[in-house]
């Protein structure tokens, strides 16, 4: 057995060359491709982790923002509720004040109307009373009553100031003697009695049923009231003044 | 049939005889180089089936180296991987009629063994320095230096003898059987020869890796002894 050392050397060189060539053409490129893919995958994973972290942070921020919005909403609702309560209270107070004012005005108006009605009732009652009195007194118109009124007239003439009595005398139209009914036969007696008390003056008799009962002296500028009509008028004025 | 121990000289380039094994080796080199160039032309980030296949080869090789040495496979990948691929293709080249695998010749296996021996020295010196490499002969103690030096030769010798014996015997047996019954009968033996070729390529590559890693590890300086308090 012999060994071909040329062949041994050649084969060694061949394998060395093959090692070098395959290292350049096969092992390194494929290993580099694998390493590149691993690096890329690692980069992608890191990027994904970073993105995930950003997403988590964004989610946390959104969650915080939502919590803030919720608390802000609650605060706004509380503030709005307080404002609404204040507005309601103010409105209620205003309405209460207006209602009180209206009530007071109504009370005042009612009182006024009541007073007006009372006065009207009083006036009506007065008128009614006077009408009744007029009718009743109308039935009492007798010569005795007329004689009493005549005496009263004479007394009033006597108490008149001298200036007024002189003014009656100087009236060119004379003095009218008003009676509720025609005195008839009593006319001459009455004329004499009045002339005796008043002096010489022209006297004219006039009939005025409104007097009810009594005797009055009337001139252009003077009236000496002496009748139940005048008395009732005084009563009406006094009642109205009292009301 | 020619003697398996003799080489057929086809022609000479000057004083250098070109044997059939050398010529077939060139052919295998051409196939491997051209095939590698074609397969790795368009490597993409997203692999297709072709790229996935060649990446599977590289990944498997890296895994084997990592499990054998416990270190990163990059420094050893080209040498160990090329040894494996070359021996595998060379062993399987016997399937082509008329071709004798180069690994069935002494010169080729001896050349591979020499390369492993040189690579052990190279990686040992590169990994642990000259001193570290020389120190690897004194593992586990100085008394083992002669035996370790002898072992560094005998182990590579046993590698090439193992490879040569297995491949040559397979070729020889198939040749004998084919000369006796050439139709169908050699097929089981050829299938067995395929398995043998794969196993022998794997064994050769793994042994080379073990020798290299053992030398690198033995050349590393011993870790400083840690002070430990004795517990009574």
Question: Among B5-9, B55-59, B114-118, B185-189, which stretch is predicted with the lowest mean pLDDT?
Answer: B5-9
Chain A, nearest residue to B53 by Cα: A30
Residue B230 has what pLDDT? 45
Yes or no: say if A21 and B29 are a contact pair by the CB < 8 Å rule.
yes
SS3 B12: strand
Given a cut of 50, whether residue B226 has pLDDT beyond it is no
Bridge partners for B13 per DSSP: B16
- Tokens describing residue B114: 């020499």
* CA of B50 vs chain A CAs: smallest distance (Å): 12
Yes or no: say if B132 and B124 are a contact pair by the CB < 8 Å rule.
yes
Question: Among A46-60, A134-148, B65-79, B142-156, which stretch is predicted with the lowest mean pLDDT?
Answer: A134-148
As a whole number of angstroms, the distance between CA B211 and CA B31 comes to 29
> A7: which chain B residues are within 8 Å (Cβ-Cβ)?
7, 17, 19, 21-22, 105, 107-108, 111
Taken as a whole, chain B contains a residue count of 232
* CA of B28 vs chain A CAs: smallest distance (Å): 10
Given a cut of 60, whether residue B54 has pLDDT beyond it is yes
Contact A14 B17 (CB under 8 A): no
Yes or no: say if B117 and B153 are a contact pair by the CB < 8 Å rule.
yes
- Phi, psi (rounded to 5 degrees) for B17: -80, 130
Nearest CA among A133, A127, A118 for reference residue A237:
A127
Strand residues in chain A grouped as ranges (E)? 175-179, 203-207, 216-218, 223-224
* CA of A44 vs chain B CAs: smallest distance (Å): 13
Yes or no: say if A230 and A215 are a contact pair by the CB < 8 Å rule.
no
- Phi, psi (rounded to 5 degrees) for B182: -80, -15
Residue A36: pLDDT band with limits 50, 70, 90: very high
Given a cut of 90, whether residue B79 has pLDDT beyond it is yes
Percent over 90 (pLDDT), chain A: 41
- Phi, psi (rounded to 5 degrees) for A3: -110, 130
Bridge partners for A203 per DSSP: A175
Q: Where are the alpha helices (H) located in B70-105, listed in sequence order?
A: 74-92
Domain boundaries, chain B: 9-219
Percent over 70 (pLDDT), chain B: 94
> A8: which chain B residues are within 8 Å (Cβ-Cβ)?
107, 110-111, 114
Measured at the CA of B175, the angle between CA B169 and CA B181, to 5 degrees, comes to 130
Query: What angle do the packed helices A5-22 and B74-92 form, to 10 degrees?
Result: 120
Look up tokens 């964004």; give the residue: A58
Average of per-residue pLDDT values in chain A:
88
CB proximity B71 to A under 8 Å: no
Contact A21 B33 (CB under 8 A): yes
Given a cut of 60, whether residue B232 has pLDDT beyond it is no
- Tokens describing residue B25: 């080796």
Q: Mean pLDDT throughout B85-93? A: 95
Residues of chain B numbered 128-187 and touching chain A (CB < 8 Å): none
CB proximity A41 to B under 8 Å: no
Contact B43 A23 (CB under 8 A): no
Given a cut of 80, whether residue B136 has pLDDT beyond it is yes
As a whole number of angstroms, the distance between CA B88 and CA B103 comes to 9
Q: What is the CB neighbour count within 10 angstroms for residue B167?
A: 28
Q: With b meaning 16 or more CB within 10 Å and e meaning fewer, what string describes A165-193?
A: beebeeeeeebbbbbbeebeebeeebeeb
Top pLDDT among A187 and A45 is at A45
Question: Among A175-179, A221-225, B75-79, B206-210, which stretch is predicted with the lowest mean pLDDT?
Answer: A221-225
- Torsion of Cα atoms, A99 then A105 then A109 then A110, to 10°: 40
Given a cut of 80, whether residue B197 has pLDDT beyond it is yes
The DSSP code for A227 is B
Q: Mean pLDDT throughout B91-102? A: 89
Distance of CA A114 to the CA centre of its chain: 21
SS3 A22: helix
Question: pLDDT tens digit string along A106-142?
Answer: 999 999 998 888 888 888 888 888 888 888 887 877 7
Q: Which of A3, A14, A27 sits opposite B58 (nearest CB)?
A: A27
Distance of CA B218 to the CA centre of its chain: 22
Residue A1: pLDDT band with limits 50, 70, 90: low
Residue B1 has what pLDDT? 54
Q: Mean pLDDT throughout B4-23? A: 85
Residue B228 has what pLDDT? 46
Question: pLDDT tens digit string along A73-83?
Answer: 999 999 999 99
- Reported for A31-34, long-range contacts at CB under 8 A and 24+ positions apart, including other chains, are A31/B58, A31/B62, A31/B74, A31/B77, A33/B43, A33/B44, A33/B45, A33/B47, A33/B51, A33/B55, A34/B55, A34/B58, A34/B59
- Tokens describing residue B218: 């033995």
Contact A3 B106 (CB under 8 A): yes
Residue B82 has what pLDDT? 96
Residues of chain B numbered 80-119 and touching chain A (CB < 8 Å): 81-83, 85-86, 102, 105-108, 110-112, 114-115
> How much is the ipTM here?
0.89
SS3 A207: strand
As a whole number of angstroms, the distance between CA B154 and CA A13 comes to 22
Q: Mean pLDDT throughout B158-185? A: 86
Question: Among A15-19, A28-32, B9-13, B27-31, which stretch is predicted with the lowest mean pLDDT?
Answer: B9-13
- Tokens describing residue B219: 């050349």
């Amino acid at each position: 057995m012999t060994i071909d050392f040329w062949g041994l050397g050649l084969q060694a060189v061949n394998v060395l060359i093959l090692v070098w060539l395959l290292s350049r053409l096969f092992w390194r490129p494929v290993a580099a491709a694998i390493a590149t893919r691993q690096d890329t995958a690692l980069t992608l994973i890191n990027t994904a982790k970073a993105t995930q972290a950003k997403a988590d942070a964004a989610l946390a921020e959104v969650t915080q923002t939502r919590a803030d919005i919720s608390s802000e909403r609650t605060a706004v609702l509380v503030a709005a509720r307080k404002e609404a309560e204040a507005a309601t209270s103010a409105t209620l107070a205003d309405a209460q004040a207006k209602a009180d004012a209206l009530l007071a005005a109504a009370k005042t108006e009612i009182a006024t109307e009541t007073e007006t009605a009372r006065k009207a009732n009083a006036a009506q009652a007065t008128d009614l009373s006077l009408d009744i009195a007029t009718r009743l007194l109308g039935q009492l118109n007798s010569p005795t009553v007329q004689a009493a009124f005549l005496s009263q007239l004479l007394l009033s003439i006597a108490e008149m100031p001298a200036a007024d009595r002189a003014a009656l005398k100087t009236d060119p139209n004379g003095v009218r003697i008003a009676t509720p009914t025609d005195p008839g036969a009593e006319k001459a007696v009455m004329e004499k009695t009045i002339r005796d008390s008043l002096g010489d003056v022209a006297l004219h008799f006039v009939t005025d049923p409104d007097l009810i009962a009594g005797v009055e002296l009337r001139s252009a500028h003077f009236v000496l009231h002496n009748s139940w009509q005048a008395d009732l008028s005084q009563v009406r004025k006094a009642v109205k003044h009292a009301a | 049939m020619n003697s398996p121990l003799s080489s057929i000289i086809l022609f000479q380039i000057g004083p250098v005889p070109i044997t059939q094994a050398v010529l077939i080796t060139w052919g295998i080199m051409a196939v491997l180089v051209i095939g590698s160039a074609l397969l790795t032309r368009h490597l993409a980030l997203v692999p297709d089936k072709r790229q996935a296949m060649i990446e599977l080869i590289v990944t498997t090789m890296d895994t084997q180296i990592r499990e054998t040495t416990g270190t990163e496979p990059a420094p050893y990948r080209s040498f160990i991987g090329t040894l494996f691929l070359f021996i595998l293709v060379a062993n399987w080249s016997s399937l082509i009629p008329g071709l004798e695998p180069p690994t069935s010749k002494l010169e080729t296996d001896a050349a591979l063994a020499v390369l492993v021996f040189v690579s052990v020295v190279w990686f040992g010196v590169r990994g642990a320095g000259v001193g570290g490499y020389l120190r690897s002969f004194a593992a586990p103690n100085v008394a083992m230096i002669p035996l370790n030096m002898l072992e560094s030769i005998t182990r590579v010798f046993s590698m090439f003898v193992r490879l040569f014996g297995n491949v040559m015997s397979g070729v020889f047996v198939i040749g004998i059987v084919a000369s006796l019954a050439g139709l169908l009968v050699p097929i089981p033996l050829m299938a067995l020869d395929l398995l043998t070729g794969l196993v022998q390529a794997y064994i050769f590559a793994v042994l080379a890796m073990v020798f290299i890693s053992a030398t690198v590890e033995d050349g590393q300086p011993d870790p400083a002894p840690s002070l430990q308090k004795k517990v009574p």
